[in-house]
Structure 1
Amino acid sequence: MSTPEHPSTLNKVVVIGGGYAGTLAANHLRMRADVGITVVNPRPEFVERVRLHQFVAGTREATVDFGTLLGEGIRLVVDSATHIDTTTRTVRLASGRALDYDYVIYAVGSTGAIPSSVPGAAEFAFDLAEFEPAQRLRARLAELPLDAPVTVVGGGLTGIETAAELAERGRAVTLVCGRALAPSFGAPARRAMSTWLSRHRVEVVEDDMVREVRPDAVVLAGGGVRASALTIWAGGFGVPRLAAASGLRTDELGRLLTDETLTSVDDDRIVATGDAAAPSGRPLRMSCYAAGPLGAQAADTVLSRIAGTEPAVISLAFSGACVSLGRRTGIRQLARKDDTAVNLYVGGRMGAAIKEVTCNFAVKRIRREARRPGSLIWVKGGPRPEQPAPGPRGVTTP
């Protein structure tokens, strides 16, 4: 990886975000020698988000040197993008700098989503969707006695993995699921999860949600008050507001609205990928699994536009999802190509091994793409049904 300014004769592509999708997209762009690639990322290191629950529990670190991931010639700018000016084709940065571009790959990813509607949540709850909040959470955990009650809010995979990791380390954990435990998994896999959590003394609360967070307790919608020396919010994800702040249309969560080639509906010089993309207003599941293929497909769209050819529509088939239950058990849920679960799963130590291979592969495929741009392959899905075109240009979906 090198950092000189790109010659003016190159097609300048600014990749905003150095996560799984953005980093792979940057490497994939090197299929053409006349592309100058700049990655803008707020941190000098790559964050393995799928490892943050381990980082919080103290069982593993979660950062990787960008120098081992980005291919030769890619420039890394450690800064935050604050505005995309589509008129002047510049990306403004928090430092006051501005980067010229011919194309932008919008790969800002996702963030934590602690709701302002829940009293006390913003003040007293911790999230772990990003590295800095995870650092604060890890430090707070280190201050607590082992038997201090911990509440994890959210019955999705992040909440389950966090609760399981802490329980295996001897923590007293309550998992408040809201509607249900792992609703995207099949019934047999959910039963296996429930059994593991029960054996490790995790109290699972279903069909109830947190109505208020206090410094030392949570109040449930059903009226119960539970002691909680530490409350961790894992109840979903948000998206940075950069697109909306730049006058680009987004969905209700803030994901950039694109067509099926991942091109912004407002500007064909801006291509979105990963968690921050909403193709046809119907985003794919936020996941590390989808990030790599979407990153490659976003880069292919840019390369097609440079070449003057028609970009291909996105195509990605899902095969399931993984969840870790501590360090020795995991579940690999199998699914149809449209991401709907079937009643088949792989559990136990084999499930844990599959999850670990999956996490390792997410980084390895980025390194492989750096060595051999265009090497990523993925399982293709069928065409997605057509949807009505978005509303008038410049209107952000409420």
Structure 2
Amino acid sequence: MTRKIDVLVVGGGYAGVMAANRLTRRDDVAVTLINPRRTFVERIRLHQVVGGSDDAVVDYQDVLAKSVRLVVDTVTRIDAAGRGVTLAAGGTVGYDYLIYAVGSGSADPGVPGAAEFAHPIASLEEAQRLRPVVDAAPATAPVTVVGAGPTGIETAAELAEAGRTVTLVCAGVLGPYLHERGRRSVAKRLASLGVTVLDGPGTKVTAVTRDAVRLDGGREVRSTVTIWTAGFGVPDLAGRSGLSTDELGRLLTDETLTSVDDVHILAAGDSAAPSNLPFRMSCQAATRIGAHAADTVLARIAGEQPAPINLGFFGQCISLGRRAGIFQFASRDDTANGLYIGGGPGAKLKEFVCQHTVKHLANEARKPGSLTWVKDDKRQELLRAKHAEALATR
């Protein structure tokens, strides 16, 4: 009997599940997914966990192909030379190919008092711990959300809609990705919810105390509950395992998503840095990158030349409470433009995106290879410019 080719996927988020499902296109491939949780986390709903409108959890049997073996554990080391990984619970798992899809999480804020007094929500466990803290605070207690990206905006709106007194500290621009027209729409909705938005100069947090947030402009904001959404980090597993990473710890790969160190290791999702020019962290990118990593493995198994990744974008969607939202349209190169859908239709479109992201995973489990995506030819221009800049600085 011919031995099956063992492909190991480390990480069961959007990228990892998509990769694992797509790999089942070949009957001679045995796929193992290692993840520290028994359930799939809808990370784009974590602000709803804090607000109490969703648990952000989906059973793996609803999104993972039945032939994929799920191992609930944490990988502590990758042995590239021996083609195996060490598990926290003990033992090892071998592989012929490994897809590194460990995702991202909270970063060290690097701000005095933040680690002690501010609550991150980059993971399910962090959001679950924060929920009772918010519930225990008096209804009129001031809540401060630090960080003006999608997570910060969504969390601020969710809590304000529930009647909380919320201040959103931007440390610069509200919604940096947004076009100015979309930004004005978001600001208007936050104002209608009673959110105090502190943006522009002087809004960088310099310290967090038990009951206040201090800004570099000299202002002190009263805060009973401080929520930290500014910045993300990635696990250091690749670096600890001796693999090449970028400055944030993402695995360095070529444009096929193959590690620059080892042809048997690939990366997908937030933890991938193809050509040291990573895509914007998002579930939109993660699912497509996961699919492409799987395609690269399948090409190698078939003795074919893997294709470079070509990924275009649609935009960014942000919920603004349960009754409003915004879908910010963008060019395929991920540059926001002046088109957006806001208000109630924006909320419906955001919910559609959340539901269909899970549906894409389920569809890939039933029919591997079904996911498609738009292309963007401008990435090659960026790579050529990056290469020319590198040559000029030598």
1:306 offset after TM fit, Å? 1.0
Give the counterpart letter for 1:205 in structure 2.
L
Give the counterpart letter for 1:31 in structure 2.
R
Q: Which residue of 2 aligns with 1:274?
A: 269
Q: Residues 159 and 235 of structure 1 are in contact (CA less than 8 Å); yes or no, is this contact kept in structure 2? A: yes
Cα distance in structure 1, aligned partners of 2:145 and 2:277:
29
How many residues align? The count is: 383
Q: Does 1:50 align with 2:37?
A: no
Superposed CA deviations along residues 42-63 of structure 1, whole A, max 9, x for unmatched, are 0000000000000111011110
Cα distance in structure 2, aligned partners of 1:334 and 1:121:
34
Query: Which consecutive unaligned segments of at least 5 residues does structure 2 have?
Result: none
1:114 offset after TM fit, Å? 3.7
Give the counterpart letter for 2:231 in structure 1.
G
Q: Which residue of 2 aligns with 1:23?
A: 17
Report the 3-state secondary structure (helix = DSSP H, G, I; strand = E; otherwise coil) of the residue aligned with 2:32. strand
Tell me which of 322, 345, 348 is aligned to 2:343: 348
1:388 offset after TM fit, Å? 4.2
Q: Does 1:154 align with 2:143?
A: no
Tell me which of 174, 178, 190 is aligned to 2:171: 178
Give the counterpart letter for 1:187 in structure 2.
E
For residues 106-117 of structure 1, the aligned pairs below 5 Å read: 106-115=100-109, 117=110
Tell me which of 242, 247, 256 is aligned to 2:242: 247
Q: Does 1:191 align with 2:184?
A: yes
Q: Does 1:88 align with 2:82?
A: yes
Runs of 4+ in 1 over 3 A off after TM superposition: 386-389
Q: Which residue of 2 aligns with 1:105?
A: 99
Q: Does 1:299 align with 2:274?
A: no
Superposed CA deviations along residues 295-348 of structure 1, whole A, max 9, x for unmatched, are 110000011111111101001111111011000111111111111111111111
Superposed CA deviations along residues 162-219 of structure 1, whole A, max 9, x for unmatched, are 0000000000100000011001111111111111111111110012111101111111
Q: Residues 243 and 254 of structure 1 are in contact (CA less than 8 Å); yes or no, is this contact kept in structure 2? A: yes
Tell me which of 198, 208, 211 is aligned to 1:205: 198
Give the counterpart letter for 1:151 in structure 2.
T
1:227 offset after TM fit, Å? 1.1
Q: Residues 114 and 233 of structure 1 are in contact (CA less than 8 Å); yes or no, is this contact kept in structure 2? A: no
Superposed CA deviations along residues 73-128 of structure 1, whole A, max 9, x for unmatched, are 1110100111100111111111112100000000000101241x210011111111
Superposed CA deviations along residues 224-267 of structure 1, whole A, max 9, x for unmatched, are 11111111000011100011001111111111000000000000
Aligned alpha-carbon RMSD (Å): 1.4
Q: Which residue of 1 aligns with 2:5?
A: 11
Tell me which of 100, 118, 127 is aligned to 2:120: 127
1:8 offset after TM fit, Å? 8.1
Q: Does 1:265 align with 2:275?
A: no
Q: Which residue of 1 aligns with 2:227?
A: 232
Q: Which residue of 2 aligns with 1:314?
A: 309
Give TM-score, length-normalised by structure 2. 0.95
Cα distance in structure 1, aligned partners of 2:161 and 2:338:
27
Cα distance in structure 2, aligned partners of 1:381 and 1:43:
34
For residues 34-45 of structure 1, the aligned pairs below 5 Å read: 34-45=28-39
Report the 3-state secondary structure (helix = DSSP H, G, I; strand = E; otherwise coil) of the residue aligned with 1:343. strand
Give the counterpart letter for 1:70 in structure 2.
L
Q: Residues 151 and 173 of structure 1 are in contact (CA less than 8 Å); yes or no, is this contact kept in structure 2? A: yes
Give the counterpart letter for 1:360 in structure 2.
Q
Cα distance in structure 2, aligned partners of 1:354 and 1:336:
18
Report the 3-state secondary structure (helix = DSSP H, G, I; strand = E; otherwise coil) of the residue aligned with 1:374. coil
Q: Residues 114 and 127 of structure 1 are in contact (CA less than 8 Å); yes or no, is this contact kept in structure 2? A: no
Q: Does 1:140 align with 2:119?
A: no
Give the counterpart letter for 2:88 in structure 1.
A
Cα distance in structure 2, aligned partners of 1:321 and 1:230:
28
Cα distance in structure 2, aligned partners of 1:311 and 1:344:
36
Tell me which of 318, 323, 333 is aligned to 1:338: 333
Query: Which consecutive unaligned segments of at least 5 residues does structure 1 have?
Result: 1-6, 392-398
Q: Which residue of 2 aligns with 1:3?
A: none
Give the counterpart letter for 1:212 in structure 2.
A
The change in CA–CA distance for 1:8 and 1:276 in structure 2 (over 3 A counts) is farther
1:160 offset after TM fit, Å? 0.2
Q: Does 1:373 align with 2:392?
A: no
Give TM-score, length-normalised by structure 1. 0.94
Cα distance in structure 2, aligned partners of 1:92 and 1:301:
24
Cα distance in structure 2, aligned partners of 1:262 and 1:59:
37
Report the 3-state secondary structure (helix = DSSP H, G, I; strand = E; otherwise coil) of the residue aligned with 2:207. strand
Report the 3-state secondary structure (helix = DSSP H, G, I; strand = E; otherwise coil) of the residue aligned with 1:31. coil
